[in-house]
Structure 1
């Protein structure tokens, strides 16, 4: 964590940031957040992340007492104060202090600056394993702070040498706990269309691919895919070479995956100048 954050309407020392213990964010797990990276002192794809954060606040009935311009000014000040050449910004809006301890109220906005570590090079070169989990994330199009099930289930991942889970229900795949999911079949990039968070990295990946289908993806399709990968802000693209005990394709990161990864790195460089 970097030394300065935004809380209580001002830039303060991060160690002094506090939240009331009766805030809905704690007693009900109700709140929203978003996370974006800073590259060469420039927040990457900031407008897209602000679009999603502002929309999430509206959809969850949480007042956001700052305009887009004000949020950008705060982020710029935090960039300067923390010397944020590289790293991540985490915006959190809590559920607030509710009179009935249940209904959404006026919450508290935090913006934290963080150091960021990418997955190891080995994971990019060899791929990762996902474990199937029968689950659909509630209000999946909103980036809420409710990760209780996946945090609890993460102890299982560690025991089985997996990177994350792959949510599925009634034979259809949705997403991973913190990432969007893609498969490649016969050169076509395919990704689920519903019960998912509309990831910002996902958005750009779809623009970089040559042939795309956005539709339902079955569990069996995923197992029979030529390639698979997940995408997120903190991973970019991670090849998936195993789902449960089933090997995907030839068990190695595929050419379509690696091509999109390389194109995304170019896009990132262009947007950080």
Structure 2
């Protein structure tokens, strides 16, 4: 069953549990992670938790839990849910206190949900999906997986209203990432993606793709590329925990490559599936 967790207590998902003075609710003052479980086993759990702790430190959340503490909490929640294929959403905020901008001297709040995974339809991956290009209007520290996602939401909604799966963002013509994904192009058999800076999230699936590319002897090049290069790429794909590896076959009014998922993207996804099967 799908369940929730709030500061040491398991709750049903329709139970009212968040106080009005919760700083995540009032300020978006917190960080989060989403972890995918396949057949009861987590994919790259340690990497997700390490990123959660790094994001917490970056916004000066006074957390006491270790990687192992969070691992145990997440595994316990999934076991309690009895779900095999699920997404765990875990969120840490600066706690519950009267609304003031300064940090309060209160314990942090940890909440979590375990919900059944709803992966993209197979035909989306088989046929590829569409994207649009939008300006990146987010803040400067996108490497922090914070709760402040309003620019992402607006861009994602714009993409959806245009009949697209994702919006690929750019700053002054240089591609950063998607609204909820990392973005890649393939040119002459090489994978190109933006380097890790404060302007992009260090994706966990990005980490997996880099490892898979090395295993398959495919060059993985971390350097900036423009929207012009994006549109002239042989292949384009995006990655995230929930999308896994998703081929993009049309951007705005431009077909990518032959307008179908390309061979390199397919090889990456096939190897990704093998790694999941080996969990």
Tell whether the structures are fold-level matches, with TM greater than 0.5: yes
TM-score bin, normalised by smaller chain: over 0.9
Q: How many angstroms apart in 2 are the aligned matches of 1:38 and 1:190?
A: 28
The change in CA–CA distance for 1:45 and 1:111 in structure 2 (over 3 A counts) is same
1:120 aligns with 2:121: yes
**1:233 corresponds to which residue?**
241
Work out whether 1:253 is the aligned partner of 2:255: no
Partners of 2:16 and 2:71 lie apart in 1 by 20
| Deviation for aligned residue 1:208 | 1.2
Structure 1 runs of 4+ off > 4 angstroms?
A: none
Tell me the CA shift for residue 98 of structure 1.
5.0
1:197 matched residue in structure 2 = 201
Provide the aligned C-alpha RMSD in A. Answer: 1.7
**Deviation string for 1:156-180 (max 9, x for gaps)?**
3233110111110111000001100
Deviation digits for residues 39-81 of structure 1 (CA, Å, limit 9, x no counterpart): 1211111111111001111111112242322222222221221
Who is 2:138 aligned against?
137
Name 1:212's counterpart in structure 2. Answer: 220
**Contact 2:137/2:151 (CA < 8 Å) preserved in 1?**
no
Q: Number of residue pairs matched?
A: 270
Gaps of 5+ in 2: none
- For 1:131-170, what aligned pairs fall within 5 Å after superposition? 131-138=132-139, 139-170=141-172
Where 2:119 maps in the other structure, the secondary structure is coil
1:174 lines up with 2:182 in the alignment: no
CA contact (8 A) 1:130 1:166 kept: yes
Say which of 211, 224, 232 aligns to 1:224: 232
Q: Secondary structure at the match of 1:173?
A: strand
Alpha carbons 1:24, 1:102 under 8 Å: kept: no
TM-score by length of 2: 0.91
**Partner of residue 36, structure 1:** 35
Q: Match of 2:66? A: 67
Q: Is this contact kept in 2: 1:7–1:17, CA < 8 A? A: no
Query: How far apart, in 2, do the equivalents of 1:23 and 1:6 lie?
Result: 15
- Residue 242 of structure 2 aligns to a residue in which SS? coil
Give the Cα–Cα distance (whole angstroms) in 2 for the partners of residues 104 and 207 of structure 1.
Answer: 39
Query: Deviations along 1:91-119, whole A, 9 cap, x unmatched?
Result: 11123345662234443101210111111
1:14 positional shift = 3.4
Task: Report which stretch shifted further, 251-260 or 237-246.
Answer: 237-246
Asked if the contact 2:92–2:110 (Cα under 8 Å) also holds between the matched residues in 1, the reply is yes
CA 1:104 to 1:166, structure 2 compared with 1: closer, same or farther past 3 Å? farther
The 10-residue stretch of structure 1 (118-127 or 11-20) with the greater mean CA deviation from structure 2: 11-20
C-alpha deviation, 1:136, in angstroms? 4.8
Supply the distance in 2 between the matched residues of 1:246 and 1:228 (Cα, whole angstroms): 12
Q: What TM-score results when the alignment is normalised by the length of structure 1?
A: 0.93
SS in 2 for 1:144: coil
Query: Gaps (5+ residues) in structure 1?
Result: none
